[in-house]
A and B are shown apart, each in its own frame.
Chain A
Amino acid sequence: MADGPVAELLLRRLEASDGGLDSADLAAELGVEHQAVVGAVKSLQALGKVIEAELRSTKRWELTSEGEEIAQEGSHEARVFRSIPPEGLAQSELMRLPSGKVGFSKAMSNKWIRVDKSTADGPRVFRVVDSMEDDVQRRLQMVQRGQAEKLGEKERSELRKRKLLAEVTLKTYWVSKGSAFSTSISKQETELSPEMISSGSWRDRPFKPYNFLAQGVLPDSGHLHPLLKVRSQFRQIFLEMGFTEMPTDNFIESSFWNFDALFQPQQHPARDQHDTFFLRDPAEALQLPMDYVQRVKRTHSQGGYGSQGYKYTWKLDEARKNLLRTHTTSASARVLYRLAQKKPFTPAKYFSIDRVFRNETLDATHLAEFHQIEGVVADHGLTLGHLMGILREFFSKLGITQLRFKPAYNPYTEPSMEVFSYHPGLKKWVEVGNSGVFRPEMLLPMGLPENVSVIAWGLSLERPTMIKYGINNIRELVGHKVNLQMVYDSPLCRLDAKPRPPPTQEAA
């Protein structure tokens, strides 16, 4: 505490001193641990300019615990010397003494003692001199008295080699009066307490200042994965635009709904093992809507509904093959088929965001599964201009306003357009999505009226998330190698919506 007894004593001594005092000296004078004085210095420093403290480091010689013992009791060799009576002592007996071994050899080399090996009952040790001077003890006592400087370099190093003496660095403070020096430092309160409020004592108490540079304590909280944050933003955008969410809770899909229903021919490369995960068990779909299947079969193999068809032999076995769906458009096809069964036709807007699976070559930006975002509008007389208009609204809600459209080929949309946006950072146009008008060969066999068009677009969830959160390796985002620190640290997802341009007017 700032005003503990040590701090108070320190202030009083400081007042009496001229100039200042050393913390180690003070500790010695007060008979307290040096650390207690250092604590007092630090807490007084925290009060502002009460004191000035300058850190000093001094080197000092100190006795080791063995050195202390020798200063007290005498050196081992002296103790050996003293224990030998005039008539001598058996060497084996001498060796059993506590100082025996070390003391014996030292006393021998000092020529204080000698060994007589001719005696009948083993070697005996005798004094050589009558008295001796215990220099080791004397020198250690000098160090103890703080007179280490009086010893020669050689003497000190000999004592250090015998591990009796050690050089220690002592950090002390030179304490002097500060500009706001006062001996009457009252206790600073750290925090407001209920008692202070009820008694009103807070009015008279000084409070310890806060360190506003310190970090706060993080609240205990959960963290949502960035993909979920971005996903909920996309859902929000679709819902704002009046789109209804499609059920997509079937990762397992039949080739029929995943490909055939979309007028994707059975020899299409996407239906290859290299591109799609097929299932071994359950390998085949158990039920298909057979009259619809017949219409699909006819359209593929012979054409119809104004189409030439693909003119090949369409096989039911191929359509039955189960797979991990390669796109959510299979779910859209199911929903559109259901919509087609509802009479009369009612316009609809649908969306979905869910997982799809592709047998891709894996790298930093590709995984075998990803999330697809898909939007679908079904109504009478929809145009390509409508598709572009709705894409513009959708992307402007994402903060993307500069769009352009490139002709493209998709098996189940015609016309098809890839959506590009200008990336100011990369200074180039980058693809942000794919879109098109579903082919009549897909819609008419479902039973949708002829003048109903269905426009659709899709994009991946991972890509905008990676861009948004600056993630370069998709494995850090998706899958168990996810970086939890990234999850902890990632901010809220706001898709940087800029003020939107006024909604486009319907062309007259």
Chain B
Amino acid sequence: MPTVSVKRDLLFQALGRTYTDEEFDELCFEFGLELDEITSEKEIISKEQGSIKAAGASDVVLYKIDVPANRYDLLCLEGLVRGLQVFKERIKAPVYKRVMPDGKIQKLIITEETAKIRPFAVAAVLRNIKFTKGRYDSFIELQEKLHQNICRKRALVAIGTHDLDTLSGPFTYTAKRPSDIKFKPLNKTKEYTACELMNIYKTDNHLKQYLHIIENKPLYPVIYDSNGVVLSMPPIINGDHSRITVNTRNVFIECTGTDFTKAKIVLDIIVTMFSEYCEKQFTVEAAEVVFPNGKSYTFPELAYRKEIVRADLINKKVGIRETPENLAKLLTRMYLKSEVIGDGNQIEIEIPPTRADIIHACDIVEDAAIAYGYNNIQMTLPKTYTIANQCSQEDIADKLGVDISATKAVHISNPKTAEFQVARTTLLPGLLKTIAANRKMPLPLKLFEISDIVIKDSNTDVGAKNYRHLCAVYYNKNPGFEIIHGLLDRIMQLLDVPPGEDKAGYVIRASEGPAFFPGRCAEIFARGQSIGKLGVLHPDVITKFELTMPCSSLEINIEPFL
């Protein structure tokens, strides 16, 4: 879940009122956000680097707010405020418009070389925008949030934003050999080739995570303007030439990627969020993108989609009984402009370009429920009549569990934690490690576990299968083989398997195994098949587990008895 950090006072200023921390927390909860932490830059730095380093830092109060992973429109202050203001019916959702420029439309031409590495690109222009320090920071921060979330760390989409007034179109998006790309990147004072840059960035804490996306590819993606100025080398770095500043008035935005749908969503989010600061609010200047096949598209899409959902469907799915008019009002509060149409039972919902998360009627139903208030919904019990059944497997394991506990053993449930190299094929090591971790306990230690192990098995759809095993160990000053043997006898008695060589019975026969002391190991046969072994553990095994006492063990597969 992404966390957005906003300055509290700026937030309240934009919301047009102040809240206590509790009130704001409550508002977040209702809307499906979570006020995760109240902090300040100073606090963050002093927590991470000590109070000395934090000395000069700002102590402006920051709200850290957890935003649902599919709500890209809430990843910045602008979006959060707009969402909450519409939710509280203080403003109407703005309508985002794509407009044609007065002069020539900006053009981005994609060459076919990009096909193998990063085939898609979209673009748009924010005209006559007015940044302030706060707005500018938010603009940069939103790009970072998008990169980390929907863009999957720039693998799916990478964003470049440029000062259009320093460039001259049309632009070309192509792919070249790294040695043929040379430019001055952001925050550097001289030009480097792409090869050099990739080396330099290996030690860059921020950028090194993105290198793998194009490293080792023969061609790197790159965008030029008509004078050969490099705008960016996606998804790694922008050129320094076109860098934006607080004073930038016209912003050219390009998004390149491997996922066309997501590139379009990312572009829509950026322009809808920041067109607020354009001279003509909420308008975005179109840009044309020409694909290698010659087809030309205009971006941003800013598509408004209409869905029609029946009011009774919403009522039925949520479990409420609201009039269609009320439902339309509820949805409108969720940024989904809605009205009742047709026979009076149908609601027409307009999905704005900011709400790419709405892909099905069920998403609309959820928003209606959120606006209605989850905690206002009448709780009812489903009438679903069913008869319960237990898995026989669980059943028998429990029965054994109880009985083994009656024979004085301790039940450990989970043997392994972090050190996964393989899925375990035996339970014994877990029990021996448990003894090693509990050597201070009085002797004897008698432990057992009934749990699943995993074995490769090409007869199953995934190629592996769980088996339910039972393992027990006896750890004392004497090996206690007779005790482990007695446990086996008792288990078999409980499972109604009589001793004996015949088909229905069980028997143990001398055997050997690497874990056991020679001459002190037997294989267990039950109902005609081998189910496991018991015996006295080999001293080498005992010492390898850092144990010092003799130990006997039993491990059997209990699947045949389930």
For residue A390, give the distance in angstroms from its CB to the closest CB of chain B. Answer: 6
Q: Are A281 and B382 in contact (CB under 8 A)?
A: no
Contact of A250 among B363, B408, B465 (CB under 8 A): B465
- Of the candidates B70, B318, B452, the one whose C-beta lies within 8 Å of that of A409 is B70
On chain A, the residues within 8 Å of B408 by CB distance are 220-222
Q: A384-B377, A487-B410 are in contact. Are A285 and B390 (CB under 8 A)?
A: no
In chain A, what residue has the closest Cβ to B390? A245
How many angstroms from the CA of A253 to the CA of B437 in the assembled complex? Answer: 32
Contact A409 B68 (CB under 8 A): yes
Q: Nearest Cβ in chain A — how far from B146, in angstroms?
A: 14
Q: Which residues of B contact A475 (CB under 8 A)?
A: 417
In the assembled complex, the CB of A451 is this many whole angstroms from the nearest CB of chain B, namely: 9
Q: How far is the CB of B441 from chain A (nearest CB, A)?
A: 5
Chain B residues in 8 Å Cβ range of A407: 31-32, 68, 366, 369-370, 374
Report chain A residues within 8 Å CB of B391.
245-247
Interface membership of A322, Cβ < 8 A = yes
A284 contacts which chain B residues (CB < 8 A)? 463
A–B Cβ pairs within 8 angstroms, 5 of them: A251-B466, A252-B454, A385-B319, A482-B434, A504-B381
Interface-facing stretch out of B223-231, B241-249, B398-406: B398-406
Instruction: With both chains docked as a complex, state the minimum distance between the C-beta of B469 and any C-beta of chain A, in angstroms.
Output: 12
B386 CB-CB contact with A under 8 Å: yes
> Which stretch, A77-85, A116-124, A185-193, A309-317, touches the partner chain B?
A309-317
Please determine whether A232 and B398 come into contact, CB atoms closer than 8 angstroms: yes
Stretch touching chain B among A174-182, A194-202, A435-443: A435-443
What residues of chain B lie closer than 8 Å to A305, measured between beta carbons? 360
- Given known pairs A389-B381, A507-B319, the reply for A267 and B411 (CB within 8 Å) is no
| Interface residues of A, Cβ cutoff 8 Å to B | 220-225, 227-228, 232, 235, 238-239, 241-247, 249-254, 267, 269, 277, 279, 281-282, 284-288, 303, 305-312, 322, 324, 347-349, 355, 357, 362, 367-369, 377-379, 381-386, 388-390, 392-393, 404-409, 414-417, 437, 439-441, 453, 455, 475, 478-485, 487-488, 503-507
Given A285-B461, A393-B381, A441-B360, also A244-B320 (CB < 8 A): no
- Decide: A252 and B390 in contact? CB cutoff 8 A: no
Across the interface, name the chain B residue whose C-beta is closest to A477.
Answer: B414
- Residues of chain A within 8 A (CB-CB) of B416 are 369, 479-480
Complex Cα spacing A81 to B390, Å: 100
A92 to B286, CA, bound (A): 125
Interface centre among A225, A369, A414 (most CB of B within 10 A): A414
A348 near B390: Cβ-Cβ < 8 Å: no
B415 near A: Cβ within 8 Å? Answer: yes
Known: A369-B414, A383-B317. A223 touches B420 (CB 8 A): no
A249 to chain B, nearest CB (A): 4
Closest to A221 in B: B408
Chain A residues with CB under 8 Å of B414's CB are 227, 355, 369, 478-479, 482
Nearest-CB residue, chain A, relative to B318: A384
Say if the beta carbon of B261 comes within 8 Å of chain A: yes
- Chain B, residues 375-400, CB within 8 Å of chain A (1/0): the string is 10111111111111111011000100
Known contacts A222-B410, A232-B398, A482-B437; A307/B359 CB under 8 A: yes
In the complex, how many angstroms separate the beta carbon of B327 from the nearest chain A beta carbon?
A: 14
Known: A409-B69, A506-B381. A482 touches B465 (CB 8 A): no
For residue A383, which residue of chain B has the nearest CB?
B319
Q: Which of B379, B382, B437, B464 interacts with A481 by CB under 8 Å?
A: B437
Assess A228 versus B413: contact at CB under 8 Å? Given A383-B380, A384-B318, A440-B362.
Answer: yes
Q: Which residues of A contact B465 (CB under 8 A)?
A: 250, 252
Chain B CB within 10 Å, residue with most, of A378, A384, A416:
A384
B361: which A residues are within 8 A, CB to CB?
A: 306, 440
Quote the shortest CB–CB distance from B116 to chain A (angstroms): 15
Given contacts A222-B408, A269-B152, A310-B261, contact A439 B362 (CB under 8 A): yes
Binary per-residue interface labels of chain B (138-176) against chain A in the complex, 1 for a CB within 8 Å, 0 otherwise: 000000000001001000100000000000000000000
| Chain B residue at smallest Cβ distance from A309 | B359
Given that A307-B359, A377-B384, A482-B434 are contacting pairs, would A251 and B454 also be in contact in the complex, using a CB cutoff of 8 Å?
Answer: yes
Which of chain B's residues have a CB closer than 8 A to the CB of A306?
Answer: 360-361
Check B417 against A267 for contact (C-beta < 8 Å).
no
- Is there contact, CB below 8 Å, between B418 and A368? yes
> Could you tell me if A414 and B418 are in contact, using CB atoms closer than 8 angstroms?
no
Chain B residue contacts of A287, Cβ below 8 A: 461
B36 contacts A by Cβ under 8 Å: no
Q: Does B316 contact A (CB under 8 A)?
A: yes
CB-based contact B374/A405 at 8 Å: yes
Instruction: Check A504–B417 contact: CB distance below 8 A.
Output: no
Indicate if the CB atoms of A239 and B441 lie closer than 8 Å. Answer: no
B445 and A484 form a contact (CB under 8 A): yes
User: Does B12 interact with chain A (Cβ within 8 Å)?
Assistant: no
The answer to whether B462 and A253 have CB atoms under 8 Å apart is: yes
> Considering the complex of A and B, which 9 residue pairs feature the smallest CB-CB distances, nearest first?
A385-B319, A383-B319, A407-B32, A282-B463, A222-B405, A480-B433, A409-B68, A415-B366, A252-B464
If the complex has contacts A250-B465, A282-B456, A479-B415, are A239 and B381 also in contact, measured as CB distance less than 8 A? no
* Given known contacts A235-B390, A238-B388, A507-B319, A388 and B377 CB-to-CB distance under 8 angstroms: yes
B269 at the interface (CB under 8 A from A): no
